[in-house]
């Protein structure tokens, strides 16, 4: 497929003016100096929605999320696209303004992500303390032990600031911090030779699996997302952004690749089906089971990585760059969410906490559950709309240089 | 996108129809058949029952294997009652060994001795929740389970593993999935049945048979849940041991 993800270069073509007219009432994204790749925004927005839904307890909408249909899930999409956009934005900064400036901007981003994580941690602490101390159901005396960690606040809070203590569902941002922290170096190598950077990254991934490299967590165990393994996806995203995708386009568009991808996706789908329909288990050879399981999310199992690659290849094939649907108002909310990923991610996690809280304290019915999911997504969209509006308004007033920086941040958004 | 929304609505419609369809039945805490059996078997239980007993069962578990203040109505007691009813003529004794606040690793090393002392035919090992709350390293958890199961087998007992309760209020605060998956993995490797309490309770909650969200004080909900769990576990043991108790079952229905 020729129009691989080589965005940046092109200029907004035919679709541009038409969509401006049609979307007049909707806020338009600020037109950056170079064209945005709307597919990236779309898919990242999609990943953010899925992450929000997956963070809520099981409900109807959970069945729409991709983790039920294959090995990989929204996290892979999110990390890959983040690597991709980070390379676009900070790669350009590094070329134009040098290593020091680019590194400084990356570190500023790291700080933002870190602060966002700490804010979410505080909110989580408030919720967990309330729920655990207000519940007296004798069925669950044991589960209320989750508060035990608060008996040593001196240790726990320091460990949280060190990113070692992370309650459940709060693992993505620390992974992000770790990945971005080393991104200046990655980018430096990548500017010299993209292939070398990717090879080093794959080597580190291999070493992680051979020697069990991991970051320790508190009170025990290791980081849920092992940065030494997940960096592969991030660096791979960056590599694709800096020309790798172009180089692969021949392979990607060959029918053989497509059929292998499709076959693999089917296999993954069938395997996940056996988890949900245990009766099917009889048709899964015992040897295959022993070879496959457990599918390790912590260390980005090869099966998961391949599943993501297959998904990405098919997406590229069937979602062309200039697909008119990308400018349709129906997809605008997704795209807007994808364009403000760090903010929307945090809002999503917050809303998941809030939704969980409502479910726990007031009502747990399926209908309420469904409504909470839908409302959460609407709030995320509204927030993204406000961010876009604000960016546009302030962008107009600010100086030229400032708005260029702003755009970079928007696209690099990163999170 | 539009088709996605449409299918979501269809799913919603179908499932709410389903819910309203069964709400006029009495709430019977039914469990689907596949959760009440296993590919693995309980051969010692089968031969003891065939020989006329006595069937000594030991439940090793954390605090969720009892109800504080109403110990006599917890699932092990209900299990004993149900088995005695279903296996007339076979003496059945269920003992409980509580190991509160202990991880699988803490418990595993002592299991062999425990069984030898009590001469148990079957050990129901309920574990995992403390490990999940303390986020014990998943490999350690798996190794501990493996060690425990091996010790129990060597001591001459059949084993049923039991996983956590489903607790909706803390669902997003304690990450259970990895522990549940690894328990299933050990069970598969060691050919030991798993009583999937987590899925069973999730279903009850989804179908509205119990409001597990309830923060209400008092033990009545806990008693009803344990009563259902005890009965389900008795069916699970009988099915898994391939004991032919068709006659009393048929009479009951």
In chain B, what are the domain boundaries?
Answer: 29-247
Task: Find chain B residues with C-beta within 8 A of A140's C-beta.
Answer: 64, 165, 167, 169-170
Which residue range forms the structural domain that includes residue A369?
Answer: 1-68+320-409
Domain membership of residue A32 (yes or no) is yes
Same domain, A13 and A79: no
Task: Identify whether the C-beta of residue A341 lies closer than 8 Å to the C-beta of residue A24.
Answer: no
Q: How many domains does chain A have?
A: 2
Quote the CA–CA distance of A83 and A301 in Å, as a whole number: 19
Quote the CA–CA distance of B10 and A372 in Å, as a whole number: 18
Least-confidence region, from B20-34, B148-162, B237-251: B20-34
Mean pLDDT, chain B, whole residue set: 83
**Which among A237, A260, A283 is the end of a domain?**
A260
Confidence grade of residue B215 (pLDDT, cut at 50, 70, 90): low
Q: Is the sign of the CA dihedral A242, A248, A253, A257 positive or negative?
A: negative
Domain membership of residue A6 (yes or no) is yes
Task: Find chain A residues with C-beta within 8 A of B33's C-beta.
Answer: none
CB contact under 8 A, B67 and A138: yes
Percent above pLDDT 90 for chain A = 42
Percent above pLDDT 70 for chain A = 84
Report the DSSP pairing between strands B122-126 and B158-162: parallel
Instruction: Calculate mean pLDDT across residues A87-102.
Output: 93
* pLDDT at B217 (0 to 100): 62
Nearest C-alpha of chain A: how many angstroms from B7?
9
Quote the CA–CA distance of A36 and A27 in Å, as a whole number: 16
Task: Find chain B residues with C-beta within 8 A of A352's C-beta.
Answer: 172
User: What values do phi and psi take at B123, rounded to 5?
Assistant: -115, 125
Nearest C-alpha of chain B: how many angstroms from A116?
19
Same domain, A390 and A242: no
Look up residue A242 and give its DSSP letter: I
Helix/strand/coil (H/E/C) assignment for every residue in A175-211: HHHHHHHCHHHHHHHHHHCHHHHHHHHHHHHHHHHHH
* pLDDT at B143 (0 to 100): 94
How many of the other CB atoms lie within 10 Å of CB of A16? 13
CB contact under 8 A, A360 and B169: yes
Same domain, A93 and A234: yes
Interface list for A 65-124 with B (CB within 8 A): none
Q: Which two tokens stand for residue A324?
A: 């008119």
A139 touches chain B (CB under 8 A): yes
Domain membership of residue A288 (yes or no) is no
Domain membership of residue A267 (yes or no) is no
Nearest C-alpha of chain A: how many angstroms from B251?
28
Alpha carbon dihedral A56, A77, A315, A235, in 10-degree steps, equals 180
Quote the CA–CA distance of B190 and B150 in Å, as a whole number: 8
Interface list for A 233-292 with B (CB within 8 A): 278-279, 281, 289-290
Task: Identify whether the C-beta of residue B200 lies closer than 8 Å to the C-beta of residue B31.
Answer: yes
Instruction: Calculate mean pLDDT across residues A73-88.
Output: 93
Domain membership of residue A307 (yes or no) is no
CATH number listed for the domain at residues B29-247: 3.40.50.1110
Q: Which of B67, B133, B225 sits opposite A145 (nearest CB)?
A: B133
Task: Identify whether the C-beta of residue A248 lies closer than 8 Å to the C-beta of residue A6.
Answer: no
* pLDDT at B9 (0 to 100): 42
pLDDT digits (tens, 9 = 90+) for B77-94: 999 999 999 999 899 999
Instruction: Calculate mean pLDDT across residues B220-237.
Output: 92
Same domain, A332 and A255: no
CA angle A55, A370, A171 (to 5 degrees): 5
- Mutation to test the B interface, candidates A138, A170, A354, A363, most B Cβ within 10 Å: A138
Same domain, A63 and A81: no
Domain membership of residue A283 (yes or no) is no
Same domain, A188 and A204: yes
Same domain, A88 and A223: yes
Q: How many CA atoms lie within 13 A of B247 on its CB side?
A: 2
Domain membership of residue A210 (yes or no) is yes
**What is the residue-wise DSSP string for A368-412?**
HHHHHHHHHHHHHHHHHHHHHHHHHHHHHHS-HHHHHHHHHHHHH
CB pairs < 8 Å spanning A and B: 140
CB contact under 8 A, A145 and B217: no
Same domain, A243 and A109: yes
Task: Find chain A residues with C-beta within 8 A of B8's C-beta.
Answer: 60-61, 64
Is residue B247 exposed (0-12), middle (13-18) or buried (19+ Cβ within 10 Å)? exposed
- Mutation to test the B interface, candidates A55, A168, A219, A296, most B Cβ within 10 Å: A168
Nearest C-alpha of chain A: how many angstroms from B55?
28
* pLDDT at A15 (0 to 100): 40
Look up residue A216 and give its DSSP letter: B
Same domain, A130 and A237: yes
Report the DSSP pairing between strands B158-162 and B194-195: parallel
CB contact under 8 A, A221 and B135: yes
Domain membership of residue A311 (yes or no) is no
Q: Evaluate the omega torsion of the peptide bond into residue A219 and state whether it is cis, within 30 degrees of 0.
A: yes
Same domain, A55 and A115: no
Q: Is B109 left (phi over 0), alpha (psi -120 to 50) or beta?
A: alpha
Closest CA to A85 of A43, A50, A119: A43
Quote the CA–CA distance of A82 and A341 in Å, as a whole number: 9
Closest CA to B107 of B142, B62, B138, B77: B62
Confidence grade of residue A396 (pLDDT, cut at 50, 70, 90): low
Quote the CA–CA distance of A266 and A260 in Å, as a whole number: 10
Look up residue B253 and give its DSSP letter: -
Q: How far is CA A369 from CA A53, A344, A351, A380, B199, in A?
A: 11, 21, 13, 17, 19
Interface list for A 335-374 with B (CB within 8 A): 352-353, 356, 359-361, 363-367, 370
């Amino acid at each position: 497929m020729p129009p691989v993800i080589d965005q940046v270069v092109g200029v907004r073509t035919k679709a541009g003016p038409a969509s401006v007219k049609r979307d007049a009432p909707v806020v338009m994204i600020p037109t950056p100096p170079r064209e945005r790749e709307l597919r990236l925004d779309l898919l990242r927005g999609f990943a953010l929605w899925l992450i929000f839904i997956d963070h809520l307890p099981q409900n109807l909408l959970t069945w729409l999320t991709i983790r039920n249909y294959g090995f990989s899930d929204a996290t892979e999409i999110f990390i890959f696209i983040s690597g991709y956009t980070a390379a676009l934005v900070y790669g350009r900064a590094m070329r134009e303004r040098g290593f020091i400036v680019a590194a400084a901007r990356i570190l500023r981003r790291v700080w933002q992500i870190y602060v966002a994580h700490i804010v979410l941690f505080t909110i989580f602490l408030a919720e967990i303390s309330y729920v655990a101390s207000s519940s007296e159901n004798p069925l669950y005396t044991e589960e209320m032990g989750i508060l035990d960690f608060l008996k040593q606040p001196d240790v726990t809070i320091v460990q949280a600031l060190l990113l070692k203590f992370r309650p459940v569902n709060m693992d993505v941002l620390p992974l992000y911090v770790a990945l971005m922290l080393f991104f200046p170096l990655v980018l430096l190598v990548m500017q010299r030779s993209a292939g070398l950077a990717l090879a080093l990254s794959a080597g580190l991934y291999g070493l992680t699996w051979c020697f069990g490299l991991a970051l320790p967590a508190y009170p025990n165990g290791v980081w849920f997302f092992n940065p030494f393994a997940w960096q592969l996806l991030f660096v791979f995203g960056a590599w694709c952004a800096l020309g790798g995708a172009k180089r692969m386009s021949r392979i990607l568009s060959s029918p053989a690749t497509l059929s292998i991808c499709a076959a693999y996706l089917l296999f993954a789908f069938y395997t996940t089906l056996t988890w949900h329909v245990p009766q099917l288990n009889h048709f899964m050879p015992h040897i295959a089971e022993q070879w496959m399981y457990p599918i390790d999310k912590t260390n980005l199992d090869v099966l998961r990585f391949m599943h993501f690659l297959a998904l990405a290849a098919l997406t590229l094939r069937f979602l062309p760059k200039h697909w008119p649907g990308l400018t349709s108002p129906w997809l605008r909310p997704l795209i807007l969410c994808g364009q403000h990923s760090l903010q929307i991610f945090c809002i999503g996690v917050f809303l998941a906490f809030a939704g969980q809280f409502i479910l726990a304290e007031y009502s747990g019915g399926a209908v309420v559950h469904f409504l909470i999911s839908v409302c959460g997504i609407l709030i995320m969209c509204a927030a993204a709309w406000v961010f876009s509006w604000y960016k546009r308004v302030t962008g107009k007033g600010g100086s030229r240089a400032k708005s260029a920086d702003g755009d970079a941040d928007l696209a690099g958004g990163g999170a | 996108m539009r088709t996605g929304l449409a299918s979501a609505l269809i799913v919603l419609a179908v499932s709410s129809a389903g819910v309203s369809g069964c709400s006029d039945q009495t709430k019977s805490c039914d469990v689907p058949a596949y959760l009440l059996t296993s590919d693995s078997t309980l051969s010692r239980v089968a031969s003891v029952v065939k020989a006329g007993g006595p069937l000594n069962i030991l439940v090793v578990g954390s605090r969720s294997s009892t109800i504080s203040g109403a110990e006599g109505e917890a699932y092990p007691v209900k299990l004993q009652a149900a088995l005695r009813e279903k296996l007339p003529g076979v003496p059945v004794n269920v003992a409980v060994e509580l190991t509160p606040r202990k991880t699988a690793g803490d418990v595993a090393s002592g299991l062999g001795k425990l069984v030898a002392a009590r001469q148990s035919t079957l050990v129901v090992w309920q574990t995992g929740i403390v490990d999940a709350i303390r986020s014990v390293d998943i490999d350690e958890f798996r190794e501990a389970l493996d060690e425990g199961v091996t010790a129990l087998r060597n001591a001459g007992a059949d084993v049923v593993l039991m996983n956590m309760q489903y607790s909706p209020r803390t669902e997003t605060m304690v990450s259970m999935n990895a522990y549940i998956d690894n328990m299933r993995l050990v069970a598969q490797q060691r050919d030991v049945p798993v009583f999937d309490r987590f899925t069973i309770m999730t279903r009850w909650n989804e179908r509205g048979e119990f409001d597990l969200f309830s923060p209400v004080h008092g033990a009545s909900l806990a008693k009803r849940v344990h009563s259902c769990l005890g009965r389900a576990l008795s069916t699970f043991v009988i099915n898994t041991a391939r004991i032919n108790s068709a006659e009393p079952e048929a009479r009951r229905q």
